[in-house]
């Protein structure tokens, strides 16, 4: 059975801290791994990773994929209160139609 597991489940940090969120997966027909940020409603897209070892960066956020060890990390540096959200990892499995399989999410709370 396809599985995506995130850790930690929740995390409380102070502004300015650096955090690392983890995502491991066991998915048949892996195609890509995506990171989303979800505050109150819709998940918003952060990164899509398809190749091992290539870091993607957007401002204070960065992510990398290891297809050999089947995991990805999402780093957030100099955290701000606006980073507080649930961070979702999703793996895209290819087939007749591709589909996203979500992990359980990591709830990040950044305190002032």
Partner 1 sequence: DTEVTQTPKHLVMGMTNKKSLKCEQHMGHRAMYWYKQKAKKPPELMFVYSYEKLSINESVPSRFSPECPNSSLLNLHLHALQPEDSALYLCASSQPDWGRDYGYTFGSGTRLTVV
**Stretch near partner 1 under the rule CB under 8 A, chosen from 21-29, 64-72, 77-85, 100-108:** 100-108
Residues 30-49 that bind partner 1 (CB under 8 A): 34, 36, 41-45, 47-48
Residue 82: burial class (beta carbons within 10 Å; 0-12, 13-18, 19+): exposed
Residue 97 binds partner 1 (CB under 8 A): yes
Binding mask 45-84 for partner 1 (x = CB under 8 A): x-xx------------------------------------
Contacts 24+ apart (CB under 8 A), 44-50: 46/74, 46/87, 47/74
Query: Which member of 96, 110, 111, 112 binds partner 1 (CB under 8 A)?
Result: 96
Which residues sit at the interface with partner 1, rule CB under 8 A? 34, 36, 41-45, 47-48, 88, 96-105
């Amino acid at each position: 059975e396809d599985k995506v597991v995130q850790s930690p489940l929740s995390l409380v940090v102070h502004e300015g801290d650096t955090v690392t969120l983890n995502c491991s997966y066991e998915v048949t027909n892996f195609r890509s791994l995506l990171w989303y940020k979800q505050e109150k409603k819709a998940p918003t897209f952060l990164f899509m990773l398809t190749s091992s070892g290539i870091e993607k960066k957007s401002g204070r956020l960065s992510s990398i994929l290891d297809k050999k060890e089947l995991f990805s990390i999402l780093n957030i540096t100099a955290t701000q209160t606006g980073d507080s959200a649930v961070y979702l990892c999703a793996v895209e499995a290819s087939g007749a139609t591709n589909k996203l399989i979500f992990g359980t999410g990591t709830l990040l709370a950044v305190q002032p």
